[in-house]
Structure 1
Amino acid sequence: MEEQSNTLKFLSEKIKDYYGIKSLINQEGVLNIFSLNHDIVFEEILDFYKIPYKDGFYKRKTNYSNIAKFKVVTSSELENGDLDFFKPNEHGVNLIKLHGSLDVFSAEDKNLFLKSYGETSFVGSNYAEIRKIEDRSLDILQRDGVRTTNELCVYDCSGELQFLRRSLLSGAHKFKGQFDQIIPVSLLQFFKKQLNATDQLTVIGYSFGDEHINDALKQWLECKSRTIVVYDPYRSYIPDGFDNYRDQFTWIKGGLTDYFLKYDSSQESWVTESKREMFNTVRDSLKSRRLGKNQTKKSR
């Protein structure tokens, strides 16, 4: 949350470089995006360009509308794969976040999942909605002099105290059942099913460090006609464990902006290119400072 807050001003400028996404969606019709990130940057991008998207959650009346704007899905709907997504003949983005998100919480003993959403009228509206939930919980905890771990305390519409558990999933043992997690294994199965419906996968910003994702990719690549295009400004070598699929990989030195520019570069000029280089320098500096800060904390 701190990082999301600190980078909002940076995002509000950087987001202007992603205009190529509109041409991409017009070409694809329905685009399936599987994200391993916890942040809400992609939601902000889609809102900024007014691109319709679905994330599996339904817009229904909830008992938590007094707290924030929420979309919901039940545990049974998750387990059965009964999620709200665009069908192949429709238009928009299906956004599936496999490792949880800052804006996704479980409630009522993991029988209900909530996803907050913003007003789309300004960059940062999704963050602002999460901030409302966090602040309500903070008020209660400060009032009662208590502290909770990995969950927020809120009062629902009926005045009953509820606990919203954060969904962030990290560490080496994701989806292995070695510890309690909010995101159900069924979501990983949904990913595998959707993966089998495509012949080409574009990978952006993934380090190939998650065993459960790599296992799914290897199984998918057993069909030799399937290919992966990797956008990465630094890596140009086959990740560990993928040597047998070397010929099915294509490497492109670039990132998300470069991927979108592939579909539309009409607004490119030396001015926009120079500005982007400047933002990349700022981004790398922020990343370096963050890593240095974390190292300092560890040494203490």
Structure 2
Amino acid sequence: MAMARLLGSLFCRSLLGLVYWTAPGPAVEVHVPAEPLSTPVGKTAELACSYSTSVTDNFVLEWSFVQPGKPISASLPILYFTNGHLYPTGSKAKRASLFQNPPTGGVATLKLTDVHPSDTGTYICHVNNPPDFYTNGLGLINLTVLVPPSSPLCSQTGQISLGGSATLRCSSSSGAPRPVYNWVHLGSSPTPSPGSMVQDDVSGQLILNNLSLASSGTYRCVATNQMGSASCELTFSVTDPSKGRVAGAVIGVLLGVLFLSIAVFCLIRFQKERRKRPKETYKGSDLREDAIAPGISEQTSLRADSSNGLLEKSPSASTVKTNNSKLPMVV
């Protein structure tokens, strides 16, 4: 009987020892905020993370980052804490630090200064403390960096004429969260009927149907998110094609009349200049080839030399007269 009691006691102790050595250690519990975190651009983000475990020499803390739309396996390291030392790494190393260093008191909060739009994504707080392997010790935090909308660009397409349709577009190149857009018709002119305006707040598109003269004017687009707003404006006038044709005809007639008036003016001026031109006169000192010398009778005959074309005076008809007397004849 005594031997049986001794064997039973040894068996119980061995079983308890086996249970002690094979039982898992305390579970690592990591706590992070359930709600997403948002921080304005340029500010400091604090990503709260706490844990509960019996810290040993094997304690390891790791922070990593996953870009939006990518799986956890594609995470990029930010910093490590192991063997009592902190090792920042990656592109965020200069801006990343721990709220409490060393993080052995149950607080593993990460501080990220001067946040950029590219810092938007998922951050992973991972605590590893062998032999506490009961859970994976992961905590996920979604961070959004808030950016005000940039100045949007306004544009238009379509036929801006009476009865036609046009599409106005508005878009900001940056802004987080994504801006919403609102179009407003400015001025004191009549506002287009509500049925002729179809607006999409997400895409920033405004469709104007059945354009009328009241559709003319200035339109303002305002891009807004929780960080602020920005706007752009666009102005156009609805044209009437029929009036355009009449105006074109009137302009053509006026141009024709103008050209005709210029031609008549030039002709009248040319005639006046021609009439004012002086007639050709001859002074006493001017000689003409066919002029008759004073005192010579017009009966003086000339004959042309057929061989050389020179004019000669006929010797037989040489009669000279003077105004007051006759010259004596010699026989």
Q: TM-score, normalised by structure 2?
A: 0.18
The alignment's TM-score, normalised by the length of structure 1, stands at 0.20
The structure richer in helix per residue is: 1
Structure label with greater radius of gyration: 2
Relative contact order (alpha carbons < 8 A, sep ≥ 6): 1 or 2 greater? 1
Higher strand fraction (1 or 2): 2
